[in-house]
Structure formats: structure tokens, C-alpha cells
A and B are shown apart, each in its own frame.
Chain A
Amino acid sequence: MSSPAVARTESAPPSKPVQRLGDRIFSGSTLTAGALILATLAAVAAFLVLQSVPALTENPEDISIFTSGETFWTYVWPLIFGTLWASALALVMAVPVAIGIALFISHYAPRRLAQGLGYVVDLLAAVPSVVFGLWGANTLAPLVQPFYLWLTENLGWIPLFAPPASGTGRTILTAAVVLAVMILPIITALSREVFLQTPVLHEEAALALGATRWEMIRMTVLPFGRAGVVSAAMLGLGRALGETMAVAMVLSSSGIISFALLTSSNPSTIAANIALSFPEAYGLNVNVLIATGLMLFAITLAVNAIARYIINRRKEFSGAN
């Protein structure tokens, strides 16, 4: 099939490029796809901005979701804090584990085991977040509660482990563990692909110089994959920031700002707060909740921009060379 097509392209005079129907259809459809994503994003942004305006301009006294004296900014700030705090904790836990799994699959495990393991990790990504929420609230939380109690009793002087320990284990640390499990597959899968792209020549050169396998990985695989791992982590962070159901089900939230990991008073997250408050919201309260959604939108945008910046700065290590 391909040879006549090649012959025909070659026979055309180079000065006048041939515009075939297939080319035009294909370029047209990719253009449409590209434009569509922009249009969707613009529509979402426009909706968020338009619906948010009343929440910011109306007198806060008229909005019943605020307690007296509260403004939109004092309402949303603890939520922003909670969102970033829970996501950061999840990322801190997930990234090292994900890199470990990815390296094991790409460089240590026997091929058969590697394939099976990769499949299992990918399977984690297919589990619905409600299931993670149920697991977190009903299985993980009671399981870790005695451990939390021990931590507050013996290491309570560390501000992170300040007492009193939660009686159910449904704390922000548990929520972060659930989030970490949820973002693990995406970070692992991307890191694994990046590590596999390491030029074999680099690896063999390192080994030829007498490097152990760990030294070889440190000298060739990790520097080569750094940009990829960062972008994988940012994708995972995006999911953690926006995760709604699992956090709403696991976290015992009370709208405060606190770094304590093990108490029953935890900051809520924007997405979970919307999920919890929306069913009974009406009038201006709906606008307030949508405005918090706009804040989440802005945060996610900022996270992605930072990720882009980091990847671009490290371009010299990318697969191009």
C-alpha cells in the first residue's frame, strides 16, 4: 500500500507542494481538536468568572453561608490552605514510592514480573475515587488510628503530631495517604516510560566505567528522567488538587488552618467543600461555592505553569539529544 503513495509524492515537483484531500482533512481535524480544547477551557473559565462575580461584589452580610463578619477571602483562605497542604503531603509520600516502583520495573525486575507489576499499578488508576473514599474512611482510618494515638502520646511535642489524636483516624494524614495512593499510578506510569527512554549507550558507558547498577542509575537514568518525573509529579498534583469524593468521605474537616496531622480538626479542601455544601446551597451561596471553584481553577493553572517552566528549564536533558 505504501510504495505507490511514496512514488507519487516523489514524482511531484518540489516547488509546488501537493495538497491532497487526506492531508487537508487531517490537518483540518487536528486544528478543530486543538481549537475545541481551547474553546472548552474558555467556556469553563467564562462560566466560573461570570458566576463568581456576585459572590465578590455583593455585601457579605447578605450571604448566609458566611458566618457574621466573614468575607469571601476569609472563607476561601482555609480551603486553599487545606487543598495545597493535603496535596503537598500526598505528593511527598507518592513521588519517592513512584520513582522506586518505576525504577524497579524499568531496571531491576525480571521482564515478566515487570510487565505484571506495571499492569497492576495501571489498574490502580482505574479504581473509582468513591471506592478509594470508602476504603480510606472504613478500612484505612480505623487501622491507623492506634498508630496516630501512639504518635501523639510519644512524639506530641512535634507540632505536626500535636494531640489530641482523632478517635476515628479520619485526619488529613489519612486523606493524604488515600490521595497518594490515587496519584501513584499516574506518576509511576510516566516515570517508568521516561526511565525506559534513557539511551542505552549512556547506561552501558557508565557500567563500563565500573559503576554499580545504583551508580549507573544515579549518573544516567535519574538526570535524564528528571524533567519527565517532574511533569509526572505535576500531573499527579493536578489530580490531588481536584480530588473531591475521596477527600469528602475520608476527611473530618472543620474549616480551620492547622498543620497538625493527627487531630480531628482539619482544614477542608476546596473540591470537598463544594461537594459537601452544594446540595443545600441556594441563591448567593451557590455563587460563593463557584467562586471557590474559580480559585481552584487558578491554582491548578498556576501549578501547571510552574511545571511547564521547570520542564523547559531542563530541556537539555530531554529525549531530544
Chain B
Amino acid sequence: MDTIFVKFTKFGRVAAVAALAALTLTSCAANEGQAAGGTDSAASELTGTLVGGGASSQQSAQEAWVAAFQGMHADVTVEYDPAGSGAGRDTFIAGGSAFAGSDRAFRDEELAEDNFAACVPGTGLVELPAYISPIAVVFNLDGVDSLDLDPATIAGIFAGTITKWNDDAIVSQNPDAQLPDQAITPVHRADDSGTTENFTDYLNVTAPDVWSWEADGVWPDAVTGGEAAQQTSGVIDAVTTGTGTIGYADASRAGELGTVSVKVGEEYVPYSAEAAAAIVDASPAAEGRGEGDLAIELDRASTAAGVYPIVLISYLIGCTEYEDAESAKLVKEYFSYIVSEEGQQVSAEAAGSAPISSDIAEKSAAAIELIK
């Protein structure tokens, strides 16, 4: 009898703790809603669930936006499924989500099909370049903090044609740096990623003679000699622990590693958030697009002053006119928050993205006004 009694008390204690934890958690959530909801009484009339999905590059930013947005609107639930850009676009076309995050805008032929289930036919899309993530070329070399490199040299290093740190191509651009007679180990992503796609696009556009492979999320098999590492953290770890290593990764993760200043026109531009946002302003809009469609033809070969061309741009995609008025209201409010100064600040802190320029922000706000 004794043991049974003891067991019961034990069980009771566990149950009590669990119940207490549940209570604390729920009360906590309720608090958040109330506190933030009070600040914006007009907007908090919004209710419902907004479902989106797509690019995993936006994941951290979306998580931060969702948390902040739900804080402002207690009765709204936003779900973002970071299933990947392709899956996100397919889900959006099929009507499974009200908005998509995608590392590229819809192509002309995809727009021409006009088969977006959630949208009123013939009304077009809203596409906003709302997430700009600079990609840094990072390296680990004793005694060297920064290097100036032109696109052909970067392409040569990653293609395996420049194999030593004291190669003439590197030395001639960095006369002051102490470059050792050491092998270069380029590190690339082992997994399919938007970072790789944008980086290889940059190499292909700016140095087509050296880098003849087309932009792809998967590192080309034909390139030999490089190291592969899993995800951004894997690349950073490999570059940090290796010797004479060089890699590319989201700029927010560069940390203490040396970074490359990239040659644009006649000058070398180090990575900065402003320079990364500037490339979007310096790039022309894609032709033949609707009023709300801010898709741009990213001009990586731009020679404009002070632009940093190795960036990942991820779009927010929604309908101009929704079949479902509730979705329209939610999307409009959510997009407005994201392109606002506050929203961009939130993602810059959470994901290290570069806030969009005021010019793009104005255009985006105008595009969002079209949503109904």
C-alpha cells in the first residue's frame, strides 16, 4: 500500500507542475496580445488566419515579422511555411496559401498562364523585393583582414583555376597584404540554397569567361577541388576552422572572418547594408509587368558607385485582387507592416538583412494600396 501511495503523490506532483506550466504559458500569451493590441485599436479589428509559405531564406525574418505582427493584432494568426521557393510558388498557384515568399519573381510565361487560384483572373500579382540579404565572401588567412578582388579573380578561386594565395591575380590587386604561399581551399554549400544560386549568378554574369556555369541553387558538379559544407553555419565553421579557406555566406554570419571587397566599376566596395540595398535601386524594373509588380532585373554587372552586387533578393508575392476579401485585408496589412521602416528594422535585427531603401519602400507602399 505504501509504495502505491507514494507513486500517487509523485504522479500528482508531476501533474500539478504540468498544469501550472500550461497555465503560465497561456497567461503569458494572453498578456502579450492584450498589451500590444491596445496600442493600435483600429488595426486590431483584424481577425483570421493568414497562410503563406515559400523561401527558407526568409524564415528568420518571417518569424520575426509574424511575432511582431501578431503582437499588434491579437486575433490574427500568420503561418509561414519555409518549404522552399519552388514549393511556395506551387502552393500559391494552387491556392493553398494567400501569399508566397520566393527567391525569384514569377517569370513572364508563368504570369501569362494566369492560373492563380486565390486571385481574381486577369488582375495580376503584387511582387515586392522586401527581403534583401547581402552575401559576404569570407576568408580565413593569418594576418589578412580584408582583400580587394575583382569578379574574375573570385570566379577563378571558386572554379579552382587560382589555387595559391600568392597568385599574381590576387597579389596585383592587394599590393599591401602579406599573402603566403599557401593553397586556397574554397568552401561552398553542400545543400540546395538560394545563397548559392545568387552567388553563382553573380559569378556567371560578371565573369562569364571564367565561370561558364549557369546560376543554380546546387553547386555545379563540374567544379572540382572545392569543399562542401552543410548550410550557412557549416560553411562558416569550415572557413573558420580550416586554413587558407574562402567561402560565401549570409553577411550577418561573417563575424570575425576576413571579408572581400568586390570590384564594381573602378572601385572596390566592401559589404554594407546600404551598398546592398543600393543595388536594388540601381537595377532596372523588369519589363512588361503590372502596376503592383515590382520585380526587378537585378543588374549584378552594375558599375554604379557604391553598390554591392552579391545580394539575395527574396520577394513577397500576393494577388492584386483576391477572391476572398478577408485574405486581401490580412495580406494588405501584413505586407504594409513588412515594408514599413519598423518591419525592415525587425528583420535586420533578426536575420541580418539590409533594410530596403526609402525609394523601394514608397513604391512598395503604393503597390500594396492596389490590393483588394
**A residues apposed to B, CB below 8 Å:** 65, 67, 137-138, 141-142, 145, 164, 166-170, 248-249, 251-256, 264-265, 268, 276-277, 279-283
Contacts and interface: CB of A to CB of B under 8 A. Distances in A.
B238 A170 contact: yes
Interface stretch (B66-74, B183-191, B263-271): B183-191
B320 interface: no
A282 B244 contact: no
A166 B90 CA distance: 40
B204 interface: no
B222 to A, nearest CB: 9
Contact of A277 (B86, B191, B219, B227): B191
Nearest to B244: A167
Contacts of A248: 190, 230
B191 A167 contact: no
A281 B192 CA distance: 8
Interface in B264-284: none
B84 A279 contact: yes
7 contacts: A137-B229, A145-B243, A167-B245, A265-B225, A276-B230, A277-B192, A279-B56
Contacts of A137: 229, 234, 237-238, 241
Interface of B: 56, 83-87, 90, 183-185, 187, 190-193, 217-219, 221, 224-230, 234, 237-238, 241-245
Contact of B86 (A251, A268, A282): A282
Given A249-B234, A252-B227, A168 B84 contact: no
B185 A168 contact: yes
Nearest to A277: B192
B190 A253 contact: yes
B185 A249 contact: no
A167 B242 CA distance: 6
Given A137-B234, A254-B221, A276-B191, A283 B185 contact: no
Contacts of B237: 137-138
| Of listed A138, A248, A276, A280, residue having the most chain B CB within 10 A | A280
Q: Looking at chain A's contact residues, is the secondary structure mostly helix, strand, loop, or mixed?
A: loop
B83 A282 contact: yes
Contacts of B221: 67, 254-256
Nearest to A163: B183
A279 B226 CA distance: 23
A276 B190 contact: yes
| Of listed A169, A281, A282, A283, residue having the most chain B CB within 10 A | A282
A167 B183 contact: yes
A164 B227 CA distance: 12
B214 to A, nearest CB: 11
Nearest to A64: B86
B227 A279 contact: no
A159 B187 CA distance: 24
B187 A282 contact: no
Contacts of B85: 280
A182 B227 CA distance: 24
Given A168-B187, A276-B230, A138 B225 contact: no
Contacts of A280: 56, 84-86, 191-193, 217
Given A168-B241, A252-B229, A265-B225, A279 B185 contact: no
Contacts of A141: 241
Contacts of B244: 167
List the 9 shortest-distance A-B pairs measured between CB atoms, nearest first. Answer: A167-B185, A168-B242, A280-B192, A282-B87, A276-B191, A252-B227, A280-B84, A264-B227, A142-B241
B25 to A, nearest CB: 27
Contacts of B245: 167-168
Given A252-B228, A254-B228, A282-B83, A168 B238 contact: yes
Contact of A264 (B185, B217, B243): B185
B356 to A, nearest CB: 25
A265 to B, nearest CB: 6
Given A168-B241, A252-B228, A253-B190, 17 more contacts: A137-B237, A137-B238, A137-B241, A142-B241, A145-B243, A164-B225, A166-B185, A169-B242, A248-B230, A254-B219, A254-B228, A264-B226, A280-B56, A280-B85, A280-B86, A280-B191, A281-B192
